């Protein structure tokens, strides 16, 4: 009978079979136990909620002639209870809809349409990482605390690199070619555009990291890039600022041969420009790709001249007299005159200090 309680669908049939078997064994109906009505509880769970209904699968322990009929009756009533449970379970969804349509109290703020909006600050950045808002996720050096080398954040490994991008630690962000997984051309990283460049740094795609002057926003002097120091150089490689990217020999760490920089190959050259190593910056014509006209190198303008030396493009190496700055006599003379004037001012200041009386100098 316990099996009949668990198997709701076959409740009546199982009960009838048990009773029929009892009668077949020759039990006297007068000695059977008192009648008990069994009630099957049907629990049905749907997406709208759960419902319960009492299935009327009641039957009595009777003799064999009634066993089959009452078994069928129990099955039918168990199915009826299941239908009732489903109806009750489905009734919760309209109630939830009606509750959602009720007017919101006047003092309650509306829920944001996008969950991400709750984490954005007024500058449309992640609130915990916004420097202007003083985000809680920033350290005293105005960097993300977990990725700050000076604070030894948990994302920095023992080699003073990001753990996920460290080759010595086997970082999870590296592909089988030992490159960043998202920007590996052979792996077809998701961070690459159709031109096989970083999507954010692609000028043809209008990447988010490109400013209106067609330069990287963080390195553009006119835009006041965040990567530039007060001397208009890169912060990480500025000698006067003591950039973190410099080694004890005052060179870039990754390009210092004495320090065994990561960018130096076994031939004592920069790995990306080494022809024997097949560097990534070497084009099929065995030239540096950016300096190859046939490959459309990036240092050439639309007039097929070097950008810095093109007068029509206003190259940086062209002076106000329309000549190359290094070869312009007028600019050279002006520079010499300026240096002479500065030396004269320094000399006059020294003479003034020497001629000052001792008493006044002490005051």
Residue with tokens 């009648």: 35
Q: Please compute the mean of the pLDDT values over residues 157-185 and round it to a whole number.
A: 89
- Mean pLDDT for the chain overall: 74
Query: How far is 160 from 156, CA to CA, in rounded Å?
Result: 6
Query: Nearest 5°: phi and psi at 45?
Result: -115, 130
Q: Is residue 273 part of a domain?
A: no
Q: Is residue 11 part of a domain?
A: yes
Say what the pLDDT of residue 35 is. Answer: 56
- Count structural domains, the chain: 1
Say what the pLDDT of residue 20 is. Answer: 43
- The pLDDT confidence band at residue 168, using thresholds 50, 70 and 90, is confident
Q: What is the pTM of this model?
A: 0.42
Q: Is residue 342 part of a domain?
A: no
Say what the pLDDT of residue 287 is. Answer: 92
Instruction: Identify which of 7, 9, 85, 11 has the alpha carbon closest to the alpha carbon of residue 48.
Output: 85
Q: Is residue 341 part of a domain?
A: no
Q: Is residue 145 part of a domain?
A: no
- The pLDDT confidence band at residue 15, using thresholds 50, 70 and 90, is very low
Query: Nearest 5°: phi and psi at 68?
Result: -65, -45
User: What is the percent of the chain where pLDDT is above 70?
Assistant: 65
253-303 pLDDT per residue, tens: 889 999 888 889 999 999 999 999 988 899 999 999 999 999 989 899 988
Q: Is residue 344 part of a domain?
A: no
What is the DSSP secondary structure assignment for residue 108, as one 8-state letter? S
Greater model confidence, 47 or 272: 272
Instruction: Say how many CA atoms lie within 13 Å of 293 toward its Cβ.
Output: 7
Domain of residue 70, residue span? 2-25+37-91
Residue pair 91/51 in contact by the 8 Å Cβ criterion: yes
Q: Is residue 10 part of a domain?
A: yes
324-362 pLDDT per residue, tens: 888 888 888 888 888 888 888 888 887 777 665 555 444
200-244 pLDDT per residue, tens: 989 888 888 999 888 899 989 888 888 999 988 999 999 999 888
144 bridge partner residues: 138
User: Out of 100-109, 113-122, 144-153, 292-301, which region has the weakest mean confidence (pLDDT)?
Assistant: 100-109
Q: Is residue 359 part of a domain?
A: no
- Non-local (6+) Cβ contacts of 62 within 8 A are 19, 29, 70
């Amino acid at each position: 009978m316990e099996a009949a309680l668990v198997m709701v669908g076959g409740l009546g049939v199982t009960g009838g079979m048990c009773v029929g078997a009892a009668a077949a064994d020759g039990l006297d109906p007068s000695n059977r136990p008192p009648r008990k009505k069994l009630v099957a509880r049907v629990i049905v769970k749907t997406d709208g909620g759960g419902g319960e209904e009492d299935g009327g699968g009641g039957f009595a322990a009777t003799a064999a002639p009634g066993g089959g009929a009452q078994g069928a009756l129990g099955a039918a009533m168990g199915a009826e209870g299941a239908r009732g449970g489903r109806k009750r379970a489905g009734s919760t969804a309209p109630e939830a809809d009606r509750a959602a349509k009720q007017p919101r109290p006047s003092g309650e703020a509306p829920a944001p349409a996008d969950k991400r909006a709750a984490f954005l600050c007024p500058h449309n950045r992640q609130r915990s990482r916004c420097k202007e808002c003083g985000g809680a996720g920033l350290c005293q050096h105005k960097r993300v605390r977990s990725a700050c080398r000076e604070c030894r954040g948990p994302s920095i490994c023992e080699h003073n690199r990001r753990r996920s991008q460290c080759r010595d630690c086997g970082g999870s962000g590296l592909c089988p070619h030992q490159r960043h997984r998202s920007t590996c051309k052979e792996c077809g990283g998701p961070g690459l555009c159709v031109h096989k460049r970083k999507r954010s740094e692609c000028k043809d795609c209008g990447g988010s990291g490109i400013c209106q002057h067609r330069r990287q926003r963080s390195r553009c002097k006119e835009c006041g890039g965040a990567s530039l120091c007060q001397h208009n150089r890169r912060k990480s490689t500025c000698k006067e600022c003591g950039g973190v990217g410099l080694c004890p020999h005052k060179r870039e760490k990754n390009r210092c041969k004495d320090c065994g920089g990561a960018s130096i190959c076994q031939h004592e050259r920069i790995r990306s420009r080494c022809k024997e190593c097949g560097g990534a910056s070497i084009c099929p014509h065995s030239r540096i790709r950016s300096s190859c006209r046939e490959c459309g190198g990036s240092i050439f303008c639309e007039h097929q001249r070097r950008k810095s030396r093109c007068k029509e493009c206003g190259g940086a190496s062209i002076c106000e007299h329309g000549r190359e700055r290094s070869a312009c006599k007028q600019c050279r003379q002006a520079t010499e005159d300026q240096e002479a004037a500065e030396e004269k001012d320094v000399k006059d200041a020294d003479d003034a200090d020497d001629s000052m009386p001792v008493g006044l100098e002490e005051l």
